[in-house]
Amino acid sequence: MRGVMDHIKNLGGWRTRRKLVVIAVDDYGNVRLDSRQAREALNKAGFMAKNRFDRFDTLETVQDLEALYEVLSSVEDRNGRNAIFSPYALPCNINYEVMADEGYQRYVHEDLPVTFQKLESRHPQAYSGAWTMWKEGMEMGLMAPQCHGREHVNLGIMKEKIARGDADLFVALRNRSYTGLTVPPGRSFGYSAAFGFKDSEELKGHEQILEHGLRAFKHVFGYHSVCFTAPAQQFHPDLEPVLRRNGILALDRPFMHVQQSPGTGRNNSQSQRKWNTTARKWNTTGALRASGLRTVVRNVVFEPCDGKHVIPDAINEAVSTASESVERALKEIAVAFRLGKPAIISSHRVNYCGFVEESNRRIGLASLKSLLRELVHRWPDVEFMSVAELTDLICSDPKKGEKP
């Protein structure tokens, strides 16, 4: 069944004879878990990790970036270019200190460089020079970030949990983390889905958050983002004009996503499945998108640290899971190339995080290195590019549809 779907999701949309590879990686810049000490404190308080993000997903450290750059630099494409990450990054985080000083009465955010500065003072071995190294990766052409929103936080859920006095929220915030939280009744999305909404009033507030987030991205990273993907893929079409007027050209979507719409009665939202193809400028009803945005659809999954949690007494099992992820990705890349599509690889930062457990990063990056080396071996004419470069290429010739 998986093989059939791999072909179906590559049937429509933009095509090319070139073997293009884009690596899109979500969640960079986001503080989900502060540290190993924070994880232990949360466990002790009875709020155990529910998934790999709860266990390992910390802000990228110097060691994380150094090891990642080494892997990306270890291969070259037909043009002599190294592999490149397109991190979908957040320019802002929770200001835990100010929120604590104010008794957790309201949400307060801070810019990413401030977050790195604070972590450098608290965890110098991991974060001393991390933001400088981030910028060096951009200068070397190894990191080409695009916007993932303002922060990976649903403020409607946070506000509701503050009002309810939910203990899991306050324990997490006191440990400078935002992870492992329960969701209040009536919410059909998770606490990290920044643009998920319960009613139309929350949707209106998202316009301001999105506008500020796009400007903050430019301020933090030094240029306007041209491609956007929403945290947890919750994003209503009414927000698309905000993207367009801030320079966004394409919306990164999965092949299938669940679209929320303001519902009737009791203020609940409704959901509907939507299907996407790369470069499409039309919505699923066939009507031209008012925003004029194109779509970029990821057609390869690479999550080497998915499934079994990577812990020392399960290291062999984790290695097996990672090996399977490499083979799966290579099969999906082969289908994409066979059908004349760019291989747009979907991944998450958590696969390459080692601050809590070094073996998690080691396995994730070893798998990435194996994937990249096998990729250039099987397809010597492969070309690495960023998602922004692919977006520009699609926009320059959006009707392209030649047979491979």
Strands (DSSP E) found in 91-201: 92-94, 109-111, 146-147
Structure tokens at 16: 């090319």
Torsion of CA 85, 88, 91, 94, to 10 degrees: -120
pLDDT tens for the chain, residues 1 to 404: 567 766 777 777 788 999 999 999 999 999 999 999 999 999 999 999 999 999 999 999 999 999 999 999 999 999 999 999 999 999 999 999 999 999 999 999 999 999 999 999 999 999 999 999 999 999 999 999 999 999 999 999 999 999 999 999 999 999 999 999 999 998 889 999 999 988 888 888 999 999 999 999 999 999 999 999 999 988 988 999 999 999 999 999 876 555 555 553 334 455 555 655 565 554 444 444 556 789 899 999 999 997 554 444 444 554 555 688 999 999 999 999 999 999 999 999 999 999 999 999 999 999 999 999 999 999 999 999 999 999 999 988 766 643 33
- Other CB atoms within a 10 A radius of the CB of residue 113 amount to 15
Which is the CATH superfamily of the domain at 2-251+297-396? Glycoside hydrolase/deacetylase (3.20.20.370)
SS3 259: strand
Q: Report the alpha-carbon distance of residue 404 to residue 396 in Å, rounded.
A: 19
**φ, ψ for residue 159 (rounded to 5)?**
-60, -40
Q: Where are the domains of the chain?
A: 2-251+297-396
Residue where the block lists tokens 């899971």: 321
Say if residues 90 and 229 touch (Cβ distance below 8 Å): no
Burial (CB < 10 A; 0-12, 13-18, 19+), residue 82, is middle
The pTM is what?
A: 0.90
Count CA atoms within 13 Å of residue 119 on its CB side: 32
Strands (DSSP E) found in 44-118: 85-89, 92-94, 109-111
Residue where the block lists tokens 């890349």: 333
Say if residues 215 and 199 touch (Cβ distance below 8 Å): no
Residue where the block lists tokens 């070397």: 140
Strands (DSSP E) found in 49-90: 85-89
